[in-house]
Amino acid sequence: MNVELYKLETNLKTFLLVFIIVLTFGFSTGLAFIYHRTSMTPEGTITNIKGSDTALTEDEFDIPEEYAKPITEMLLTTHTHILSFSLIFFIVGLIFYNNTIISGFWKILIMIVPLVSVFFAFSSIWAIRYISEKFVYLSITTGILEYSAFYTMIGTVLYELKFKKK
């Protein structure tokens, strides 16, 4: 398959541009949700997964601000995110594969990193919940890699579709 994005017919380029923009908006909304829930901090991430601690005394009963995620929510979150992110990264990867700006080792690395990162990101939330809070650093690192690769692919595709000329 030797398709070059910037050489595509105008209507197909327009369709891909609109698709990429809408997809990026939806994906970025998820990032905004993560910020809202965790403040993008290790402590916020741990609290979002494990819940907040409360100290019970004889005179008062504290209600936690955040409850620990039950296993059903962990399963649902993992299931939906791994399936949907895999499809998102597959589609974006197929489009990105046809760019002429990034090639060789870097192209395939950028295509594979978000897929591998999704696996480790969602494995790490289970590890945070049930093994050790230290897995939060794996969660943050893989999240950064995942989003960085996604935005790199999107930026490259948008640039080639909109600005690169034949």
Quick: pLDDT tens for 59-103: 566 666 788 889 999 999 999 999 999 999 999 999 999 999 999
Q: Does residue 158 lie within any of the structural domains?
A: yes
Residue 75 lies in a domain: yes
Residue 127 counted as domain residue: yes
The answer to whether residue 32 sits within a structural domain is yes
CA distances 152 to 26, 91, 96, 120, 140, Å, are 16, 14, 9, 20, 18
| 8 Å CB contact between 149 and 113 | yes
Residue 144 lies in a domain: yes
Average pLDDT of the chain is 93
C-alpha dihedral, 136 to 137 to 140 to 144, nearest 10°? -160
**Residue 54 pLDDT exceeds 80:** no
- Considering the domain boundaries, does residue 60 fall inside one? no
The number of domains in the chain is 1
Residue 48, number of CB atoms within 10 A of its CB:
19
- Residue showing tokens 């916020």: 44
Is there a domain that residue 141 lies in?
Answer: yes
Residue 86 resides in a domain: yes
Domain that holds residue 17: 5-50+65-162
What is the pLDDT at residue 77? 95
**DSSP character for 133?**
G
Q: How confident is the model over 154-161, as a mean pLDDT?
A: 98
Written as six digits, the tokens of 42 are: 């290790």
